[in-house]
Structure 1
Amino acid sequence: MPYRDPHTAAPALWALYHSTGCEFEASFAEFSGDSHARKGLESLAIGLYRQEFGASPTVQFGRVPKGYRASSQNNSRLIAAGARFRGGLYDGPPLAEHLAGVPPVGPLTPSAQSQSWCGHSWSEWVALSDARYRIPSNTVGLYRIRGDCDGALLYIGQGVLPNRPVAHLSKITKVGHAQGEMFAAQRRLEVSWVAAPKRRAHQLLELENDLIAAHVLHLNCAPAAQFKG
């Protein structure tokens, strides 16, 4: 089994081939825009797929077939720590990567700043600088950040709140940081969130992708600071 680098889906595709002997086919479309636009269209393609089938593509978001364990990533940090490993056949207890994904919560609706966007029940908007005091500690869920624009968003994220959204503020002081410069240019920075305490990491990524897809579908672009690091 290959490592998760250079592509995170490689272990799962290897497992499918190993278990079934299946053939794979590829299809592609040329695109001349920048990486921000390209990644936005990728999110849209996945989001539309999820709307049609009620699930993500089979090995999207780090999932692997049962009976296999995925390899680790392959980088100098893991090598130095002795933590790099090859995956393969696995007969132990279920791992998070074996768990099914989740269907979309709702349709890919417009009005990205509304409290019912894409079927979620979003919180009120609060100043990002106050998020540490307004969001309950260790909340797991989704968040969205807006700046001066009343229609579009700056960023969509997921994970442990309020730490994840608040971390964006530290990027403002980093010279040359693309995302930090976008945040610094705003007169207003506000965050809204929705708790999802029972969702696993790959399920949160699925729901985050749906939100990015809706933004691209209705506003013709991903949030401005998305995919900027």
Structure 2
Amino acid sequence: MPYTDPHVAAPSLWAVRQEYGPEFQVSVVEPDDVDKRRRRLSIEEALIAVYRRESGENTTANFGRIIDGYKRSSMRSSGFTGGTLTDDETESNSAPGIGPLPWTDADEPTSRSWMGLDWTAPEPLANAYGLPTDPGVYRIWDQDEPEPLEYIGQSGNLKSRLYQHRRNRDAELVFSYAILREGDEKHKREQVETDLIGAHWLATKEAPREQF
């Protein structure tokens, strides 16, 4: 099994090839301004989000996932080579992910019900104290210029992550978060984060200002 560098999906694709056969198909497209990294990554997030919405499934090799029965290699510098699991081993990244969000109020990125999540009321980052330590997603924006948002993120500990934003960003910006009861694994939170970034792109034709 290859390492996760130079490409993070390499171990997953290797495992698929071992399990199901040697051939893949590939298709490419070159959108306008594809050389602009922020635009390119935003389109990628939107494509994955729409795939999740339309298929009701997760892509196999995104979000650091791997198919059942395999463990992932690490980066080359760490030297761990993955492969098939033994009977007494488990791999958290092969666990089922979170399904697509319901896309409620998808074109309203500051709505309290955006994408079907239960968002808290916006508060200034200066008030980011006493927050829950639960896993979840969050958004940050300027109330005077709400579109595009400043940032969309995920964390296994909302209190810790938003405290970092309070120290490093303009305290007048506002934040809002939604707890993810199924967000125990990073790949699950990233799936929800991708839905949010993709929906934001489709609604505003821009990425959040500080996203990439």
What TM-score, normalized by structure 1, do the two folds share? 0.84
* Contact kept in structure 1, 2:57 and 2:99, CA below 8 Å: yes
**Aligned position for 1:176:** none
* Contact kept in structure 2, 1:126 and 1:190, CA below 8 Å: yes
**Structure 1, unaligned runs of 5 or more:** 79-83, 172-182
Among candidates 127, 131, 134, match of residue 130 of structure 1: 127
**Structure 2, unaligned runs of 5 or more:** none
Give the 5 Å matches for 1:73-152: 73-75=75-77, 78=78, 84-91=79-86, 92-107=88-103, 109-133=106-130, 135-136=131-132, 138-147=133-142, 148-152=144-148
Matched residue SS, 1:60: coil
* Contact kept in structure 2, 1:152 and 1:223, CA below 8 Å: yes
> What is the CA distance between 1:63 and its match in structure 2?
0.9
> What is the CA distance between 1:169 and its match in structure 2?
4.0
Among candidates 168, 176, 193, match of residue 208 of structure 1: 193
**Aligned position for 2:154:** 158
Among candidates 197, 220, 228, match of residue 181 of structure 2: 197
* Contact kept in structure 2, 1:113 and 1:152, CA below 8 Å: no
Matched residue SS, 1:192: strand
Q: In structure 2, how many angstroms separate the alpha carbons of the residues matched to 1:61 and 1:192?
A: 24
Percentage of pairs with the same residue: 35
Q: How many residues align?
A: 205
Q: In structure 2, how many angstroms separate the alpha carbons of the residues matched to 1:145 and 1:162?
A: 14
Q: In structure 1, how many angstroms separate the alpha carbons of the residues matched to 2:54 and 2:29?
A: 20
**Aligned position for 1:221:** 206
TM-superposition CA deviations, 1:131-183 (whole Å, max 9, x none): 123x22x2210100012313331100001112212323444xxxxxxxxxxx5
* Contact kept in structure 2, 1:129 and 1:166, CA below 8 Å: no
Runs of 4+ residues over 6 Å off in structure 1: none
Q: In structure 1, how many angstroms separate the alpha carbons of the residues matched to 2:111 and 2:89?
A: 41
Matched residue SS, 1:139: coil
The structure with more helix, counted as a fraction of residues: 1
Instruction: Look up the equivalent residue of 1:163 and give its one-letter code.
Output: S
Matched residue SS, 1:104: coil
Instruction: Look up the equivalent residue of 1:151 and give its one-letter code.
Output: E
What TM-score, normalized by structure 2, do the two folds share? 0.90
> What is the CA distance between 1:44 and its match in structure 2?
0.3
Q: Root-mean-square deviation (CA), in Å?
A: 1.7
